[in-house]
Structure formats: structure tokens, C-alpha cells
Amino acid sequence: MWHTLPLSPAELSLAKVLRCGQTFRWHHINGVWSFALADRVVLLKQDANTLYYSQVMRQADPDAEGTLAFITDYFNLDVKLEPLYRHWEAQHAKYPSKSASPFTRFPGIRILRQDPWETTVSFICSSNNNVKRISKMCDALCVNFGHKVAEYDGHSFYSFPRPQELAASDVEARLRKLGFGYRAKYIHQTAKLMTSTHSVERLEALRGDPYEDAHEYLLELSGVGPKVADCICLMALDKHHVVPVDTHVYQIALRDYRYKGKRDVKTLSKPMYQGIRQHFVDIFGDYAGWAQSVLFASDLSDLNNGINVVAAVKQENIEIKKEASPIVKSMAKEASEIQA
């Protein structure tokens, strides 16, 4: 049964938000967006005025209230987007450009409020990587280390593995076989840390801590540098002003927002990183991280970048089968490219 929530695409565009590099496990199957939690598969679709939601439960009876609570929290629906867009557009107009405003061309992009543990692992996978391959890695983690949640439209869905499931002694070797390269060590070490001196509970509690404290805590985790820490702060820990900076964002600042710097910079020093981040905060304000996500999406050559359209997600045992799933086959083919 489908339930309805009045919501315009200007407040939330599923096709844009779920394809712009924030999240990596949503799949688009026959017009429906689907995502596995521990106890259900969440199903979403939308038209010009309405968001439709449903669920396939793992064991329990249908729980529409729980699904709505997840949607409201996950998509930060308590934050009204259109007033923010108007503010960003007014600020953007102070920097004349021949190109159409990204805030006109890309409505409905908002920052998600994701599970901090999943976000941490996902962005560890993002190092020297692209959205398509990060998505394959996240799917492989679920298929090989999570548990089967349910089936929908002929496809099997698996939960994202918790730290204890990624802390076993053989995990690093298995991840390397799956094509994770040097990221295998980072994921395994961070999972072990989360089951010993650190905890998921403390990670989640960072939502209530000042940005500086949360950022420093995240830097203690293996494979987490300043940019990855900022991605986690923005997309999981309620630090809405935080702008994750890389050379791509640096070029946007130079090109569109009169940031003063050299164009041929390949690496960013700590002062440069902080200066660029503050430049965007000075322009866009308390939700600068949200504004930057629109700028980032508008600079992508193609939001339909090969992810999120699923042919099949086949069941895998903990041991890698001879007949691997399409995801694992594809990752094995690419392993030589992404290992270091």
C-alpha cells in the first residue's frame, strides 16, 4: 500500500538528491526508489505534488508510521528548502555569470541526515574514487557482510553491515578480493576501532557536539582525512554550514565566486582548505554546505551517472561464490584500476 505526503519537487527532488554523490545505496527499479534498512526496504516515488512511500518489512507487519519517521528524518524535511534557495539565489546574483544560476537549474537538492556509521564507511570508500564505483563497493559490503532484509520486484536487498560484522580478522583480505584495494585496510581498522575504544553511540552523539570537536574525533579514524570528515559532518552529523573542499570545489570558488588563488593548484594546504570553506560560509551562511551541494551537482556532467539503476542484486554467502553477482563481477574487473 502506498501512502502520500504532500511535497513538491522544489522541496525534494528524489532524482537529483539520490544521484548527487551524498548517498550510494538507493536503487531505481521500474520507477521506484528503494533503500534497505535493517528491518525494511523503503520505497519512494513522486509526482509534481506528492511524495509516495511504502515499505517491505523484513518480518514485522507493515509500519507506515516508522517509514514516514525515517523519511522525515533522513531527508531533513523539517528544514524548508525553498526559502534557502531564494537566499542562495540572491547571494549568487552578486557574482554575475554568463551561465544560468545553478539554483534555478537544480531545484530540490537538500542535504540528507544519514546514518553516521554508514556515511563514515561510504566516504572512506570515496578516496580517489567516483560515484559509480563507490556505489558498487557499498552494495558489495551489504551483499557480503550484511543480512538479507527482503525482496522487492524480484530483487534482494541487504542491510549495511555494522562495525562488528566488518571487524572480523578475515575482513581485510576478503575486501581486497572484492576490489577495495587500500580502502580494505581502512574499513577493517575503523570497524575494529568502533568495537573497542570508540563506538557507534559516540559517533552518533557527535551530532550534539561542536563542529571542531566532531571533526577532530573523525580524524582519529583510519582512512578519514579533512575532506571525508567534513562530508560526514555535513551529511550525517547536522553540521549544515560545513563545506567539504577538494580541487573541484576550489575551481568553483575561483571561477564563480571571485576567490583569489592560483588556478593550477593540485593539492590544498590546510590554510587554503579553511579559507575556501569560510569563503562559501561568508557568501551562503549557516546552510553553506547545502548550497555547495547544489553547486557540486550543477557541475557534474551527468547526474544519471550509471548508478542507482539496478538489473539485479543476487544473494551471496559470506564466502565469495564461483558465480558472483553482477556487482561483484564488475568490481573484480575494475579491481586493478582502484587498488593502490
Using CA atoms, how far apart are residues 115 and 70, in angstroms rounded to an integer? 11
Out of 98, 227, 314, 321, the active site residue is 227
Report the candidate in 148, 181, 150, 144 with the shortest Cα–Cα distance to residue 166.
Answer: 144
Using CA atoms, how far apart are residues 226 and 221, in angstroms rounded to an integer? 11
Residue 136 is among the residues annotated as catalytic for this protein: no
Q: How many CB atoms lie within 10 A of CB 31?
A: 6
Burial of 189 (0-12, 13-18, 19+ CB in 10 A): middle
Sign of CA pseudo-dihedral 99, 103, 105, 109: positive
Judge whether 58 and 171 are in contact, CB under 8 Å. Answer: no
Report how far Cα 283 is from the mean position of its chain's Cα atoms.
24
C-alpha cell at 126: 570515496
Report the candidate in 183, 111, 169 with the shortest Cα–Cα distance to residue 140.
Answer: 183
Using CA atoms, how far apart are residues 245 and 227, in angstroms rounded to an integer? 6
161 to 4, 73, 92, 121, 246: CA distances (angstroms): 30, 21, 41, 10, 28
C-alpha cell at 221: 579514524
C-alpha dihedral (18, 315, 32, 81), degrees to nearest 10: -20
33-43 b/e (C-beta count within 10 Å ≥ 16 → b): bbbbbeebbbb
Judge whether 218 and 229 are in contact, CB under 8 Å. Answer: yes
Task: Give the residue numbers marked as catalytic.
Answer: 227
